[in-house]
Amino acid sequence: MRRGIRSAIPTFFLILAFAVTSRGASTVISLYEAAPSPVRHAAHRLSQYTGIPVEKAARQERSIRIELNSTPNPKIGTQGYTIRSSKEGEITIRGNDAEGAANGAYTFLRTLMIEHRKDPFSRKWEVEEKPQFSIREMQVSPYRFGASYGFAALSPDRWSLEEWKEYVDFMRLCNMTTLVMASQRTYHPDYPNSWREKWRYEVWKQVMDYCHDVGLKFNWYISANQVAEQAFWDNPDKRAIQEPGHWYGNGLIWSKGKDIIVKNQKYALEYLRGLDGMEVIYSDGGGMSFDDATGADPAAYFADATRTYMKLMKETGNGSDFVFWNWIMEFWSKIMIPQPLLQKYPKYRTMQDDVIPLLPKNVAWLDASLLTMIQTHWRFI
């Protein structure tokens, strides 16, 4: 036993000596005054990885300083950053605003991780970047589709808050901007059969708060006519005809069940107050209904639903961002909808062109590229 202790002591002091020599006793990560939560989170993750403490201390030998530019740098915009080494041995991470500064800190950390470095001073830094796209979002769909079946590690359907945090941290490390929660699960206390979803709403609300802490936006995604399953079964005369769109069981006909649909979604928007935006899909099987009223003018339904949800977001105290999912709209109307239905409801053929002039001008427009369509639906093309 004594032999083991004696042999461990020199190794310990060697490690300690290496740490002091490589970093120096005065090495710190310092933040600018009143740095907001997202910047502080970035600094602490950098500290956890490198072992360098975060302090309020100003300029010290071999320090890492996260700062704001006193004069905006036009080359990096609002989300960009610079990372530079100085002759004095300092490393400075700068942004024009807090978002850019946080992005710079995460790029700095990510580079160290990729290069398997713990010592940031073992390389020279000369970085000036800004993202090519201002919106970099990830949609996560925690619903029974694919690999759920109780395997919590494989599907976000059953993720705990800690598992969500791990995923959000990875998103933030990659400088993503937005997490889109696409639940396709609806909870409303008026429907007892939906109570099994309550715990998910509770977790997702905490996820939203954590996103805001680390500097991510949190958007809510639904299909336009989505209701709780019980609401679908309780209203047989209002059920959407969804089978031709390869979907069944969670939507009502907008013209017949609008009040019920809005009631279902209003609860979620009130419960998750603080949302940054809402994203609504129409041109998937879950958002369509192949009934006479909808088929006569699907674009009118899309436009009315869009305006209704934008108003509802404002009434429930949420953000104003709205994304119209034009998800392969033309592909659906030309190929995916069965030909007999297209003959019966010819307005489905032109619904993309018809809806554009009806939409408010302040909506974002999401579409799939031709490459995505080829990769996903090449068998049909």
Q: pLDDT digits over 296-310, tens only?
A: 999 999 999 999 999
Mean pLDDT of 350-366: 92
Q: Tokens in use for 33?
A: 């005054």
What pLDDT does residue 21 have?
Answer: 40
Rounded to whole angstroms, the Cα distance separating 75 from 351 reads: 41
Q: pLDDT digits over 107-128, tens only?
A: 999 999 999 999 999 999 999 9
Q: Which class is domain 23-129? A: alpha beta
Calculate the CA 356 to chain-centre distance: 26
Q: pLDDT digits over 174-213, tens only?
A: 999 999 999 888 999 999 999 999 999 999 999 999 999 9
DSSP per-residue letters across 267-302: HHHHHTTT--EEEEE-SSTTT---SHHHHH-HHHHH
Q: pLDDT digits over 122-180, tens only?
A: 999 999 999 999 999 999 987 765 445 555 566 788 889 999 999 999 999 999 999 99
Q: Which CATH number fits domain 137-377: 1.10.357, 3.20.20, 3.40.1350, 3.40.50?
A: 3.20.20
Q: Is the pLDDT of residue 16 over 60?
A: no
Query: What's the predicted TM-score (pTM) here?
Result: 0.87
Task: For residue 315, give every residue at least 6 positions away whose Cβ sits within 8 Å of its Cβ, in sequence order, or none.
Answer: none
Q: Is the pLDDT of residue 93 over 50?
A: yes
Domain ranges of the chain: 23-129, 137-377
How confident is the prediction for the chain on average, in pLDDT?
Answer: 88
